[in-house]
Structure 1
Amino acid sequence: MTTQTQPTAPAVPAGATPGVVELRNVSRWYGNVVAVNDITMSLGAGVTGLLGPNGAGKTTILHMMAGFLSPSKGTVTVDGKPTWRHPAVYRDLGLVTERESVHGFLTAEQFVLACARMQKLPDPAGATRRALELVEMTDAAHRRIGTFSKGMRQRTRVAAALVHEPRVLLLDEPFNGMDPRQRMHMMQLLHTLGDNGHTILFSSHILEEVEQVAGLVQVIVAGRLAASGDYRKIRRLMTNRPHVFAVRSSDDRRLAVALIAEKSVSGIEIEAGGLTVRASDYGDFTRTLPRIALDQGIRLHQLVPSDESLESVFSYLLEA
């Protein structure tokens, strides 16, 4: 039986301030396509989740923060210095991209060591060893990356991003391909780094990942900042949003008359194929509907939430 140890992550050096990442009225467009639309946010010490559906603009935002892309409008800075065309920013910044770009013929140790040497660290071998220990890759350090599972490759890339102990760490979908134990260890590592004064931003399209790791969240929908702040408050907004249900029954008109008097129902549309019901309280409505149908002697043929896609959940925040 193996025991899982808490990762011992480096702290921000005494006297150094945590990295501050700021976006001010930032937009990025590709021809006529607007990928990011007038976003302003500020990130400090701790773990922040960048949450949104696929294609929302999360990767574009991370790439601008890392200096890979220039904003079409606005400014992106780390500690007051622009990230675009400012290579010195990489002394205090680490990035793990979603797309892999690691040579499979290298071992994990060789890859991380190369990153340490590019940073001109005084003890690249020692820094490499510490970084691999952080992500639990020491046992596989001498294996070629091409033989690794996706989760192992991901952890190796995280080690490379951490080898120079950056104050700012940016991660794009970092938990992809990790098994549950690897995922839990990585979450603990990010928690520890944030508690030690590092500025961590990771992107995800999965609500549960952000809930387990981040106290603060930035929600991106269609390139816009839909919500920002404490995760619990934003989660309540998502949970309490109006819900839309498609309902079919043996007598739609009589059911509609009975439902419209309920507090949990905010609106009903009668259509040829049934009812479209808007409910302000998901749980109350799903408990009330069967009771009313039974009382009225109406048989329910269908009850389907019609707005449960991730995009619709997030899009509500644009209107809240």
Structure 2
Amino acid sequence: MSVVELDKVSRWFGNVVAVNDVTMRLDTGVTGLLGPNGAGKSTLINMMAGFLAPSAGTVTLDGRPLYRDPEIYREVGLVPEREEMYDAVSGWNFVLANAKLHQLPDPESAARQAIATVEMADAQDRDIRTYSKGMKQRIKMATAIVHEPTVLLLDEPFNGMDPRQRMHLMELLHELGDQGRTILFSSHILEEVEQIAARIEVMVSGRHAASGDFREIRRLMTQRPHQYTIRSSDDRALASVMIAEPCTSGVELSVDPDGGSAVQVQATDYSAFVHALPRLASRHGIRLLEVHPADESLESVFSYLVSR
């Protein structure tokens, strides 16, 4: 069992703080690193891979610092987000070169097995420049697993994959996790994480926002206050009846410069609100013309977690 630990880790680039005082522990199984673009996920993964030194704090694998330790690199596999690759090299030679760099006893056999695992055998002799984005992701995955690492770090691994490729990779990650490997993969898509990882780490603006069981954190996301913009046949009447509902904590009637209006509602109980709104509108003869959430971006969801 391999354990990756981060203790009060920060990383800054000049005046920009990319990661700020993060403490977390990765054990065996699959962990999802969730956060909007720019949250610091890639910086965190590069430090876990030993390619980037923390500006403060420590990053260790089984108690040993990861930065610039070639022996530890043999225990780590990395799929970077960046697409730059050796385009004039075939997929086979790319994976084989990585097997040889790890000084495997039978690099050809290891390369063949890794390529077969990611279902790239049919395209292994083609130059990487001819690959689609999804194929490049899969050949990068082959290089990451060719030496059978105990720790696997994947930065947005599903980018560019079609539905069948995504399903295959999800099944592979489940299988590797069940084998006792420590796997971390990053994503800004909630549904990807939900299908694979029982445990997640949430990053927002370089900060560690939440950690733990996916279902518990998802419940917090669902129960957070929701902002809605509603347009109806009588916004003033709708605002007056909604303000008395216990499921709302704030109701405001806004008027557009062109004379149009809308009702801005903050709902503290999502389930009660979605049932109360059509019931009240029907009772008072109000037609609902438009209802849409005003703060359903991942950024707003994660920012709520940070504020708790």
Question: Using the alignment, how far apart are the partners of 1:100 and 1:253 within structure 2?
Answer: 53
TM-fit CA distance, 1:259 = 1.2
The structure 2 residue matched to 1:47, chosen from 10, 18, 30, is 30
CA offsets 1:147-174 (integer angstroms, 9 cap, x no match): 1111111111100111110000000000
Would you say 1:209 and 2:209 are equivalent positions? no
Q: For 1:105, what is the secondary structure of its paired residue? A: coil
For the aligned residue pairs, the C-alpha RMSD in angstroms reads: 1.4
TM-score scaled by length of structure 2 = 0.94
Aligned partner letter, 1:174: P
Equivalent pairs: percent with the same residue? 62
Aligned equivalent of 2:111 = 128
Question: Using the alignment, how far apart are the partners of 1:212 and 1:92 within structure 2?
Answer: 26
Deviates more, 1:247-256 or 1:146-155: 247-256
The structure 1 residue matched to 2:51, chosen from 56, 68, 90, is 68
Aligned equivalent of 1:157 = 140
Question: Using the alignment, how far apart are the partners of 1:299 and 1:137 within structure 2?
Answer: 55
CA offsets 1:41-74 (integer angstroms, 9 cap, x no match): 0001100000000000000000111122111111
Question: Using the alignment, how far apart are the partners of 1:37 and 1:235 within structure 2?
Answer: 23
Question: Using the alignment, how far apart are the partners of 1:301 and 1:215 within structure 2?
Answer: 39
Number of residue equivalences: 303
Aligned partner letter, 1:285: F
- On the 8 A contact 2:45/2:153 being kept in 1, the answer is yes
Question: Using the alignment, how far apart are the partners of 1:91 and 1:268 within structure 2?
Answer: 58
Aligned equivalent of 1:256 = 239
Question: Using the alignment, how far apart are the partners of 2:86 and 2:13 within structure 1?
Answer: 30
Question: Using the alignment, how far apart are the partners of 1:312 and 1:35 within structure 2?
Answer: 19
The structure 1 residue matched to 2:277, chosen from 277, 284, 289, is 289
Would you say 1:101 and 2:101 are equivalent positions? no
Q: For 1:203, what is the secondary structure of its paired residue? A: strand
Aligned partner letter, 1:284: A
TM-fit CA distance, 1:249 = 3.5
Would you say 1:298 and 2:281 are equivalent positions? no
TM-fit CA distance, 1:309 = 1.3
Unpaired runs of 5+ residues, structure 2, are 256-260
| Shift in CA distance, 74/134, structure 1 to aligned 2, threshold 3 Å | same
TM-score scaled by length of structure 1 = 0.91
TM-fit CA distance, 1:235 = 0.9
Aligned equivalent of 1:246 = 229
Aligned equivalent of 1:314 = 302
Q: For 1:194, what is the secondary structure of its paired residue? A: helix
Segments of 4+ in structure 1 off by > 6 A? none
TM-fit CA distance, 1:301 = 4.1
Would you say 1:82 and 2:65 are equivalent positions? yes
CA offsets 1:231-290 (integer angstroms, 9 cap, x no match): 111111111111001223444343223112223212223333432211123343233212
Question: Using the alignment, how far apart are the partners of 2:263 and 2:161 within structure 1?
Answer: 43
CA offsets 1:10-54 (integer angstroms, 9 cap, x no match): xxxxxxxx2211100011112221111110000011000000000
CA offsets 1:118-161 (integer angstroms, 9 cap, x no match): 00111111111111111111222222212111111111110011
CA offsets 1:102-121 (integer angstroms, 9 cap, x no match): 21221111111100100011
Aligned equivalent of 1:279 = 267
- On the 8 A contact 2:29/2:178 being kept in 1, the answer is yes
Aligned equivalent of 2:74 = 91
Question: Using the alignment, how far apart are the partners of 2:78 and 2:292 within structure 1?
Answer: 41
Q: For 2:183, what is the secondary structure of its paired residue? A: strand
Question: Using the alignment, how far apart are the partners of 2:53 and 2:289 within structure 1?
Answer: 54
Aligned equivalent of 1:118 = 101
Unpaired runs of 5+ residues, structure 1, are 1-17
Q: For 2:175, what is the secondary structure of its paired residue? A: helix
Deviates more, 1:195-204 or 1:149-158: 149-158
Question: Using the alignment, how far apart are the partners of 1:300 and 1:111 within structure 2?
Answer: 58
Q: For 2:123, what is the secondary structure of its paired residue? A: coil
Aligned partner letter, 2:288: L
Question: Using the alignment, how far apart are the partners of 1:213 and 1:247 within structure 2?
Answer: 35
Would you say 1:56 and 2:44 are equivalent positions? no
TM-fit CA distance, 1:299 = 3.7
Question: Using the alignment, how far apart are the partners of 2:285 and 2:132 within structure 1?
Answer: 57
Aligned partner letter, 1:229: G
- On the 8 A contact 2:232/2:286 being kept in 1, the answer is yes
Aligned equivalent of 2:258 = none
- On the 8 A contact 2:50/2:73 being kept in 1, the answer is no
TM-fit CA distance, 1:100 = 2.1
Q: For 1:139, what is the secondary structure of its paired residue? A: helix
